[in-house]
Amino acid sequence: MGENDITISFDKDEVKMNEELNGIIKISYMGRFDSIVINSQIENTSDIFNFVKLEDKKINYLYARMPILRQDIKNKNEIKFTAITKHVPQGSSNVKFRATIIQEHKEIADDVAFLKLVP
């Protein structure tokens, strides 16, 4: 496992409620894996980001944890996605996104990105 087997990044450091947040996951892991999982968490709340696009295809994934199967990724080394939230922050809220490579129910590698949710 290399240090940068997977990376997650976004087009901005701050996002507002109902504003699209575009992300990219880059995969350089050369070994076997079953899926990539994207996780979102808004600090001190049970609210989440919903995933609304995957590779420019509209989706409506209403859960904080979205798995993407290897067979759907094929041989791509980059996954583009868009997420949106309806959370109304009091002041600003910290947001954490995590991308994980999964092989046989085990985490092989992960990366975390942080941003702010602002009013």
Q: How many Cα atoms are found within 13 Å in the side-chain-facing hemisphere of 98?
A: 13
- Res 2: pLDDT: 56
pLDDT in tens, 35-64: 999 999 999 999 999 999 999 899 999 899
The reply to whether 75 falls in a domain is yes
Classify 56 as helix, strand or coil: coil
Would residue 77 count as lying in a domain? Answer: yes
Mean of the per-residue pLDDT values of the chain:
93
Segment 88-111 shows an average pLDDT of 94
Confidence of residue 89 (pLDDT cuts 50, 70, 90): confident
| Residue-number span of the structural domain to which 62 is assigned | 6-118
What is the pLDDT, as a whole number, of residue 35? 96
pTM: 0.91
**pLDDT band at residue 91, thresholds of 50, 70 and 90?**
confident
Report the pLDDT value the prediction gives residue 1, as an integer from 0 to 100. 52
Within-domain flag for 1: no
Q: Give the count of domains, the chain.
A: 1
Whether 56 is in a domain gets the answer: yes
Task: Report, as an integer, the average pLDDT of 20-35.
Answer: 95
pLDDT attached to residue 67: 96
CATH of the domain at 30: 2.60.40.2410
Rounded Cα distance between 105 and 23, Å, is 24
